[in-house]
Amino acid sequence: MASTIPLDTLKASTVNSPKMKSVKALAESASLSSVPSIYSFTHNPHDEPIISDDAEDSVPIIDVSLLVSGTPEERSQAVHQLNKACSDWGCFMVINHGVPESLTKAMIESFQEFFNLPEEVKQEFHGNHVMDPIRCGTGFNPSMDKVNLWRDYLKCFTYPEFHSPNKPAGFSEIALEFSKKIREIVTVLLKAISKSLGLEESYIDKATNIESGLQILAANYYPACPEPDRAIGIPSHTDHGLLTLLADNGISGLQILHKEKWINVNLLPSALFVHIADHLEILSNGKCKSIEHRALVNDKATRMSLALPHGPSLDTVIRPAPELVDNESHRPAYVEMTYREFLELQQTGRLRSKFG
Ligand code: OGA
Ligand code: NI
C-alpha cells in the first residue's frame, strides 16, 4: 500500500499525464483524510432532487426467460412490460437472464485483481483515444472543468473483435465468456424492444448492423472516499449506444433520475440493470428514453461496477426509424450520424444537451 502520494501528482497540470496515480492509490494513501481539491465536486443543493426509496418508484423487472421460452401470451405480456419500461422509465432490471451469478462474481474478482496490479503494469494499458480497444485510466473528464472523478476504469472492446489485457491470469477467458453471455441477453432484448415499438422483430438488428455492433466491457472502480459529499464517481449522464447492462459488487451508488427524483438502485443479487441509451432513443424517435444516471461514492467500502454498453456498428448511420416518423406530430427529432461520429463528437465536448 502506498503510504504517501507525491504532491506533484495532484497538481492539475499533471493530472492527465500518463504518470498519474489512480484514485485507488490515492485512496489507499494512509494520510488521506480529505478530498484533494482537484477531486472536489460541488453537489448543488438546489439541483438535488429528493432521494426516493418508495416501493411505487421501483424499477421494472423483466423476466428474460419469458421472452425466450414463455407461452405466446407470456411473451406478449413481457413485450408489453418492456414497452412501458422503455418509455416510462428508460431502464429496467432483468432476471432469469442466463448469466450465472458465479460468472458475474468471477468477472468482478478478476477486475479487482487487475486494479490490484502495480500502477506501472496498469500503465501498459493506458490508452489515449476513445477508439483504443483497451483503455485503463482514472477519472479525468475533459468536459468537466478540471474536476476529477473518484473512479478508476478499465474499458475493453469485446465485440466485434475481442480485446482484453493479458494480465491477470485468467482474465481474458472470463471476460470472453462473460461478454458473450451478456451479448446473448442483448440480442433477445433488442428483438423484443423492436416488437414493442410495433416494428418487425429484426428491425433494430438490421438498422444498426448489430452483427458487427460494438460491445464494450467496462469496469468502474470507486474506492471508499473520506468525504463522499465532496466528490463524485460519475456525474449525471446518459450512455451512448443502444443498451448498457450493468452489474455491481453489492455496494450501492448508482442512482437514476425518474420523474425529477433521484432514485437509489439496489440491484437484486442475481439481477442485471439495463439502461436504455442514446441510440435507442434516436432510433425510436424518442419513444424509448435514454436514462439519466450517476454514480455516487461512499466512505465505507470500495464499489465496483461492470458496465457493458452495446451499440450499433460504428459506421452505420443511425436515424429515427422512418416507420415512427411522419410530417405532423412525429417529426424526426434527432440528427442522423454514424455511431463513430457521435462518439468522436462527444469527446470534443461539443455534443451538448441531453447527449452531452
Ligand atoms: C457508466 C455508469 C454507473 C455505475 O459506466 O456509464 O454510469 O453504477 N456507471 O457504475
Ligand atoms: Ni453510464
| CA–centroid distance for 278 within its chain | 12
How far away, in angstroms, is 138 Cα from ligand 1 center?
Answer: 14
Which pLDDT band holds residue 17 (cuts at 50, 70, 90)? very low
Q: How far, CA to CA in Å, does 328 sit from each of 144, 162, 280, 323?
A: 38, 44, 22, 13
Cell of 111: 477486475
Beta-bridged to residue 153, according to DSSP, are: 137, 220
Please state the rounded mean pLDDT for residues 55-77.
91
Q: Is the CB of 247 under 6 A from ligand 1?
A: no
Residue type, 158: T
Instruction: Look at residue 126 in the predicted model and tell me its pLDDT.
Output: 87
- Is residue 356's pLDDT more than 50? no
At 4, the pLDDT band (50, 70, 90 cuts) reads very low
List, for residues 22-35, the tens digit of each pLDDT value. 899 888 886 788 88
* Residue 244 alpha carbon, nearest atom of ligand 1: 6
Q: 306 exposed, middle or buried (CB, 10 Å; 0-12, 13-18, 19+)? A: buried
User: Is 293 touching ligand 1 by the criterion CB < 6 Å?
Assistant: yes
291 lines ligand 1 (CB under 6 A): no
pLDDT of res. 49: 60
Atom of ligand 1 nearest to the CA of 293: 7
The rounded Å distance from CA 307 to ligand 1 centre is 6
**Residues 243/248/250/256 CA torsion (nearest 10 deg):** -40
Out of 154, 220, 248, 297, mutate this one to test ligand 1's pocket (max ligand atoms within 8 Å of CB): namely 220
Residue 348 pLDDT > 80: no
pLDDT tens for residues 114-153? Answer: 999 999 999 889 877 888 999 998 876 555 556 789 999 9
pLDDT in tens, 208-266: 999 999 999 999 999 999 999 999 999 999 999 999 999 999 999 999 999 888 999 99
| Best residue among 150, 245, 254 to mutate for probing ligand 1, ranked by most atoms within 8 Å of CB | 254
Q: Which residues of 205-214 are buried (b: 16+ CB within 10 A; e: fewer)?
A: bebbbbeebb
Q: Which of 252, 265, 264, 245 is nearest to 308 (CA)?
A: 245
Strand, coil or helix: 177:
helix
Question: Which atom of ligand 1 approaches the CA of 239 most closely?
Answer: 6
- Identify the nearest ligand to the CA of 233 by its number: 1
Ligand approaching nearest to the C-alpha of 290: 2
Minimum-distance ligand to the CA of 253?
Answer: 1
3-class SS of residue 148: strand
Could you identify the atom of ligand 1 that is nearest to the CA of residue 294? 7
> What's the 272 CA to ligand 1 centre distance in angstroms?
13
Question: How much distance in Å is there from the Cα of 312 to the middle of ligand 2?
Answer: 17
Ligand 2 center–CA 239 separation, angstroms: 5
Ligand 1 binding pocket includes 306 (Cβ within 6 Å)? no
For ligand 1, atom 3, the nearest C-alpha belongs to 295
Ligand lying nearest the CA atom of residue 277:
2
Pick from 69, 94, 231, 38: nearest CA to 150: 231
233 C-alpha to ligand 1 centroid (Å): 8
The atom of ligand 1 lying closest to the CA of 233 is 10
Q: So what's the pLDDT on residue 34?
A: 85
How many whole angstroms from 154 Cα to the centroid of ligand 2? 14
Q: What is the mean pLDDT of residues 299-313?
A: 97
